[in-house]
Amino acid sequence: DTEVTQTPKHLVMGMTNKKSLKCEQHMGHRAMYWYKQKAKKPPELMFVYSYEKLSINESVPSRFSPECPNSSLLNLHLHALQPEDSALYLCASRRTSGVLANTGELFFGEGSRLTVL
Amino acid sequence: GENVEQHPSTLSVQEGDSAVIKCTYSDSASNYFPWYKQELGKRPQLIIDIRSNVGEKKDQRIAVTLNKTAKHFSLHITETQPEDSAVYFCAAGFQKLVFGTGTRLLVSP
């Protein structure tokens, strides 16, 4: 299995809602990422988890709350979002062991397209 | 932190021509330089990458060059085809990968 799976593919939520984005991979990668991508812009790093510990938080507002419950799963909890948070949220993983451990290659999921009304 | 600049922002070529996209980076500690192709509404797809201990890498019609001293790297696509039309992003870093601003490539038949 060489896939990063993200659910849901599309999400529409109000500013008072609480929702979660989910990401799963079974490649044994112990580095997992959340990126945010607005239309016609590059992906912007939000969070990095390394061996299930948060290693990088790019000063993301607290209305975004990441969670890594185990080595295969990564969640992004959303609460009290703003319309400007509407974007494509991309999850990615990176190989951390084996002969190709230091390649740096990111494996991206298809993304969750979020619309905040 | 790392800052990646990418040029041009748009590039139009005729089918069969070559296309070159250039990027510069700021952090000399960056040691991994991938190029991603992203079609509309889809995820970024890695097309080629290069590490800091290599100056050039080629994969069929695609090549990447890296000049560590000048902190710049370039993507070269030869014999372009309409299906090469997409947005291309360079990136630099390793654990923390920072993306360039993107180049919209349009290949006309």
Q: Taking 90 as the threshold, does the pLDDT of residue A96 lie above it?
A: no
Q: Render pLDDT for A69-82 as a digit per residue (tens, 0 to 9).
A: 999 999 999 999 99
Mean pLDDT score of chain B, rounded to an integer? 95
Within an 8 Å CB–CB cutoff, is residue A109 touching chain B? yes
Q: Render pLDDT for B62-103 as a digit per residue (tens, 0 to 9).
A: 999 999 999 999 999 999 999 999 999 999 998 889 999 999
Note the pLDDT of residue A43: 96
Which of A113, A59, A66 shows the shortest CA–CA distance to A88?
A113
Note the pLDDT of residue A48: 94
Q: Inspect the interface and report whether the beta carbons of A41 and B102 lie closer than 8 Å.
A: yes
At A100, is the pLDDT very low, low, confident or very high (cuts 50, 70, 90)? Answer: low
At A38, is the pLDDT very low, low, confident or very high (cuts 50, 70, 90)? Answer: very high
At B5, is the pLDDT very low, low, confident or very high (cuts 50, 70, 90)? Answer: very high
* Mean pLDDT value across residues B5-15: 97
At A101, is the pLDDT very low, low, confident or very high (cuts 50, 70, 90)? Answer: low
Q: What is the CA radius of gyration of chain B?
A: 13
Chain A residues with CB-CB distance to B49 below 8 A: 103-105
Q: Render pLDDT for A40-93 as a digit per residue (tens, 0 to 9).
A: 999 999 999 999 999 999 999 999 999 999 999 999 999 999 999 999 999 999
Within an 8 Å CB–CB cutoff, is residue A111 touching chain B? yes
Q: Taking 70 as the threshold, does the pLDDT of residue B46 lie above it?
A: yes
**What is the rounded distance in angstroms from the CA atom of residue A73 to the CA atom of residue A20?**
12
Note the pLDDT of residue B94: 81
Within an 8 Å CB–CB cutoff, is residue A103 touching chain B? yes
Note the pLDDT of residue A102: 62
Note the pLDDT of residue B45: 94
**What is the rounded distance in angstroms from the CA atom of residue A81 to the CA atom of residue A34?**
16
Q: Among all residues of chain B, which has the CA nearest to that of A93?
A: B95
Identify which of A42, A44, A103 has the shortest CB distance to residue B102.
A42
Q: Taking 90 as the threshold, does the pLDDT of residue B107 lie above it?
A: yes
Best A56, A59, A105 member to test B by mutation, with max B CBs in 10 Å, is: A105
Note the pLDDT of residue B64: 97
